[in-house]
Amino acid sequence: MSDAAQRLYDETYENYRQFVNPPLARVMKLSGSPVEVRARGCTIWDQNGKAYLDFAGGYGVFTLGHSHPAVVAAVKAQLELMSLSGKTMFNVMLGRVSRRLAELAPGDLQISFFANSGAEAVEGAVKLARVATKRAKIVGTHDAYHGKTLGALSISGREYFKSEYRPLLSDVAHVPYGDATGLDEVLRDAAAFVVEPVQGEGGVNVPPLGYLRAVRDACDRTGALFIADEVQTGLGRCGMLFGCDRDGVVPDVMTLAKGLSGGVIPVGAFIARPSVWHAAYGKHPVMHTSTFGGSEIACAAALAAMEVLVADGLVENARVRGEQLLAGARALGEKYPGVVREARGLGLLVGVELTSEGYGGWIIPEMVKHGVTAAWTLNMQRVIRLEPPLVVTAEEIDRALAALEAGLATAYEKLGPL
């Protein structure tokens, strides 16, 4: 490492240790994490100029890759005009991005609210459902992940993230994911059922075909609203525009974030059917607001990102490359059955479930050594996610699979059967 690179590493590590997160600093140092310095497309460069294929993908943020030039140009142009909204006048970019999202979203999903993160989008959707239905109960699924604000956390599944914060929202129930049996009973007095089309952080769990259709039907029968949390699955990630498209269903409310602004500006949103939105806020325009939400720069980024997604055929690329990645991961699973229990996924959201959590501590650092990033899923540490940008090429997938193989081989060599 050059002196300058070493200084940058030492400075960043010391700042993390003292001012950011001391235990995280230690873990990252032990696992050999470098410092990220710049990024473009599927690649991040560290302090030494070493390149890494980004298969952790910011947990699904970089659908267009890092710093897509069209999005960066749109943001730069907007910065010259104005960056954040003054709030008292009409915001042309907010109008345009909301219209474009309604054009892309399924069915009659039409009215959007723009916020700054996935959790905020979920909070907004749940609040909307409570007001629209005049019911309080919210139903979520086991192992779900909806964010770490108190409301979103209440609906999430993993106890580790929740137990220290109780009491959380009351009137929340959880049901098994992927199984619609008995849904009517639990939804009968509920405002909403919040569900991911594929559980990302829960360990990349793909439900049986027809599950979302059954959810739609149960919601129709009971009057509970169907909130599809597409923060991770939406906008092409699963090889289709939205995860709900797999069953051809239209939810009452859809949440989005992650890839929405093309990985350049933080943004989240929910989009609702007009009937639902009007039932809640038809006479209350400022019940749910956000100072930063809907800022001109975020809207400009999101608008440009949606254009690139469509114009560059990235949804189709995600489907084709996703099949390649999953087939490759499955082949490695057959080659290393002692380490891999199952590889599964949809589009470019792929999870490799290990036979034991312990292997991950060798696999991920080994992949990093081979120039590929990967990450655990937040609610299921046995599952390593592979979530590259949708612009990924066949050759990059092959390189990532080679790094994964090196990781699997090393883990088994070091730890043996667990």
Residues of this chain that bind ligand PLP (CB under 6 A): 59, 117-119, 122, 145-147, 196, 200-201, 229, 231-232, 257
Nearer to ligand PLP (CB atom), residue 229 or residue 252:
229
Based on CB atoms, which residue is closest to ligand PLP, 46 or 230? Answer: 230
Q: How far is the CB of 294 from ligand PLP (least distance, A)?
A: 16
155 vs 308, beta carbon nearer ligand PLP? 155
Q: For residues 358, 361, 363 and 369, what is the CA-based torsion angle, rounded to 10 degrees? A: -160
Measured from the CB of residue 272, what is the shortest distance to ligand PLP in angstroms? 17
Q: Which residue number, 58 or 333, has a Cβ lying nearer to ligand PLP?
A: 58
Q: How far is the CB of 225 from ligand PLP (least distance, A)?
A: 17
The maximal CA–CA distance of the chain, rounded, in angstroms, is 66
Residue nearest to ligand PLP (CB): 118
**CB nearer to ligand PLP: pick between 146 and 216:** 146
The residue (of 259 and 333) whose beta carbon lies closer to ligand PLP is: 259
Closest contact distance (angstroms) between CB of 145 and ligand PLP is 5
Rounded Cα distance, 129 and 113, in Å: 14
Q: How far is the CB of 123 from ligand PLP (least distance, A)?
A: 9
User: Could you tell me the smallest distance in angstroms from the CB atom of residue 257 to ligand PLP?
Assistant: 5
Shortest approach of ligand PLP to residue 175 CB, angstroms? Answer: 17
Quick one: which of 214, 213, 240, 216 has its CA closest to 346? Answer: 240
In the complex with ligand PLP, the residue whose CB is nearer, 200 or 389, is 200
Query: Judged by CB, which is closer to ligand PLP: 129, or 403?
Result: 129
- From the list 152, 155, 129, 146, the residue with the least C-alpha distance to 223 is 129
Using the minimum distance from each CB to ligand PLP, give the nearer residue, 12 or 156.
156
CB of 341 to ligand PLP, least distance (A): 22
Minimum distance from CB of 267 to ligand PLP (Å)?
9
**Rounded to the nearest 5°, which phi and psi values hold at 79?**
-60, -35
